[in-house]
Amino acid sequence: MSTRSAVARATGDTPRRKIPAGFIYFFGAFGGILFGYDIGVMTGALPFLMQDWNLEGDAAGIGWITSALMLGAIFGGALSGQLSDRIGRRRSILVAAVIFAVASILLGVSPHGGLGYMIAMRWFLGLAVGAASALVPAYMAEMAPTRLRGRLSGLNQTMIVSGMLLSYLVAFGLQHLSTTWAWRSMLAGAAVPAIILFLGVLRLPESPRFLVHKGQLDAAREVLSMIRPADAIEPELREIQRTAELESNVAARTSWSTLFQSKYRYLVVAGVGVAAFQQFQGANAIFYYIPLIVEAASDVSADSALVWPIIQGVILVLGSLLFIAIADRFNRRALLTLGGTVMGISFILPAIIAWAMPDANPMLIVLFLSIYVAFYSFTWAPLTWVLVGELFPLVIRGRAAGMASSFNWIGSFAVGLSFPIMTASMPQHAVFAIFGGICLLGVLFVRTRVPETRGRSLEEIEAEGSR
C-alpha cells in the first residue's frame, strides 16, 4: 500500500484540500444541537405518551422513561473515551450518530404500552447522548486553533440549549397531531439531525492529535495542511507530539488511587462536587417536566402547555450567550455564588408564599422557575465545565474529569427519576423547596471547597490545595 493511500485512509479518505473552519465548527456545533435535542424532546412527547398509554398514575414509570436516557449516558460517557482512543474521534462520532438515528426510529415505533421496551430504547439512546457529550467538544477542541479553544465551552453550551429549544419548537408544531402520532413523530424526528450530523462528519478528517497518538505523522501533517496556514503546520505538529509524549509519561505513573493523594484530593472533591451539585440542584426537573409542572399549577392540560418549554428554552439560549460575553470578566466563584443563591431563593419562595398566602396564584411557581432558569443558564450550567477543565492538573485530568462527568450524569438520572415520584407524594412547591436547599448547600460548598481558577495557573491552584 502506498504512503498516499495510508494517509487517505487515516484521514477518512478525504482528499487534500482546505476545509473551511465554518464547516468544521458547524458540524461540531451540530453535535451539540443533536445532544440538546435528545435531552429535551421527551419534555414535549411525555404528555402525549402519558395520555396514549394511560400513565397518569404511574409516577415510577414516568420517571424511568425520562431518566433511562441519563442512565445510558453514564455508560456512554465512560465508554466513549476508550472507543475514541481505539478507532478515533471522527469514527466514534459517526457511531454515536448511527445509534442516535436507530434508537430514535425504534422509539418512534414503540409497541403500544411497551413500557419496558421504551425504557430499554431510551437507555440505548443514552449511550449515544453520553458519548456525544464527551466526543464532540473533544473533537472540536483538537481541530480548532489554540486562540479559539477558550470559547468552545461556552459555544458548546449554547449549541446544547439551542438543541433543547429546537426540540421544544418541534413539539409545539406537532401538538395538533393525534395523540399517538404526536409523541411518535417527536421521538422519531431526532433521527433527522442525527443523519445530518453523520453526513457532515463523514466529510471531515480525523483529529490530528489522534493520528499523532497512533504514530501516523504523515496523516496528521496532511490533516493540518487542510485546516492551518502553511507556516503553522510544523510548529503545531511538534507541539502535539510533545504533548502526546508528556501525556504518555503521565499515564504510565498514574492510577485511580492518584486522585485520592493528599495533594490532589482537594481539587478532585472540588471539581466532582460542583459537577454533582449542578444536577442535584434540580434544573432538569424543570427541563424534563415543565408541562406537567404547569398542569399541576393551573387548569391547563400538559399537552396544551407546550409554550412553556419554549419560554424556558429561549431563556437558556439567551443566558448562554450572556455567559460568553461575561465569562472572563468575573470570578468563577462569584458567578456561582450569585447564581446558586438566586436559584435557591427562587425555589424556596413559592413554598413560603404557599404557606403564608394559601390563596395566592399557584402559577407564581412558574414565574420563579423562570428566574431560576435565567440565573442557572449563565452561571452553573456553563461554569461547571469551565471549572472541570481548569481545576485538574494534567497528571489526574483524564480520570478526574471522567469521574466528574459520571457524577453529573448520576445526578441527572436521580433527579429525572425521583421528581415525578416526589410530586406524587407531596406538593410540588415543597419538592422545589428541597431542591432550593440543595442550591444553597451548593453555594456553601463553592465558598468553602472550591478555589478560584480565573486568571490562575494550574500550578497556583494545585499549590493552594496542598496548603
Residue 64 burial by CB count (10 A; 0-12/13-18/19+): exposed, middle or buried? buried
CATH number for 101? 1.20.1250.20
Assess whether 275 and 368 both reside in one domain: yes
127, three cell numbers: 449511550
The amino acid occupying position 400 is A
Place of cell 400538559: 302
| Cβ pair 438, 445 in contact under 8 A | no
User: Nearest CA to 122 among 192, 66, 76?
Assistant: 66
Of how many residues is the chain composed?
Answer: 467
- Average pLDDT across the chain, whole number: 87
Cα separation, 276 vs 284, whole angstroms: 13
pLDDT for res 278: 96
Q: What type of residue sits at position 153? A: S
Cα 251 to Cα 18: distance, rounded to the nearest angstrom? 34
Question: What does DSSP assign to residue 357?
Answer: -
Distance (Å, rounded) from C-alpha 451 to C-alpha 110?
48
Mean pLDDT is lowest, of 74-83, 330-339, 441-450, for 74-83
* pLDDT tens-digit map of 360-369: 888 888 999 9
Task: Give the type of residue at 296.
Answer: A
Residue 132 lies in a domain: yes
Same-domain status, 142 and 232 = no
Q: Quick check: is 13 in a domain?
A: no
Type of residue numbered 129: V
Looking at the fold, whether 367 and 281 belong to one and the same domain comes out as: yes
Question: Backbone phi, then psi, for 131, in 5-degree steps?
Answer: -65, -45
Q: Which domain holds residue 317?
A: 255-467
* Residue 148 pLDDT: 62
Task: Please count the structural domains in the chain.
Answer: 3
Give just the sign of the alpha carbon dihedral 282, 64, 293, 302. Answer: positive
Domain boundary among 221, 253, 285: 253
Whether 151 and 259 map to the same domain: the answer is no
Which of 174-183, 190-199, 301-310, 339-348 is modeled with the greatest confidence?
339-348
| Domain assignment present for 122 | yes
Residue 9 lies in a domain: no
pLDDT of residue 457: 64
**Residue 7 forms part of a structural domain:** no
| Same domain assignment for residues 57 and 164 | yes
Residue 10 lies in a domain: no
CA R_g for the chain: 23
pLDDT at 397: 79
Please report where in the chains the cell 409523541 appears, as a residue.
183
Q: Are residues 173 and 240 in the same domain?
A: no
- Is 346 or 213 the better-scoring residue by pLDDT? 346
Which residues have a Cβ under 8 Å from the Cβ of 42 and sit 6 or more positions away?
A: 65, 66, 69, 122, 187, 288
- Pairwise pLDDT comparison (254 vs 433), residue with the higher score: 433
- Looking from the CA of 418 toward its CB, the CA atoms found within 13 Å total 15
**Do 179 and 59 reside in the same domain of the chain?**
yes
Using DSSP, state whether 257 is helix, strand or coil. helix
Report whether pLDDT(6) > 70: no
pLDDT for res 226: 85
User: Rounded distance, CA 43 to CA 464, Å?
Assistant: 43
Burial, 130: exposed, middle or buried (Cβ in 10 Å; 0-12, 13-18, 19+)? Answer: buried
Q: Do both 358 and 324 map to the same domain?
A: yes
Instruction: Estimate the crossing angle of helix 307-326 against helix 152-174, to 10 degrees.
Output: 170
Tell me whether residue 281 is in a domain: yes
Residues 357 and 461 in one domain: yes
The whole-angstrom separation of Cα 383 and Cα 455 is 14
The answer to whether residues 154 and 243 belong to one domain is no
Mean pLDDT, range 98-127, rounded to an integer:
96
In a shared domain, residues 303 and 415 = yes
Please give the sequence-ordered ranges of beta strands (E in DSSP) within 125-263, or none if there are none.
none
* 77 located within any domain: yes
CA distance 333 to 339: 10
- Are residues 241 and 299 located together in one domain of the fold? no
| Kind and range of the H or E run holding 125 | helix 115-143
| Average confidence (pLDDT) over 155-171 | 89
How many C-beta atoms surround the C-beta of residue 23 within 10 A? 13
How much is the pLDDT for 302? 75
User: Mean of the pLDDT values across residues 189-205?
Assistant: 91
* Whether the predicted pLDDT of 163 surpasses 80: yes
Q: Phi/psi of residue 390, each to 5°?
A: -100, -25
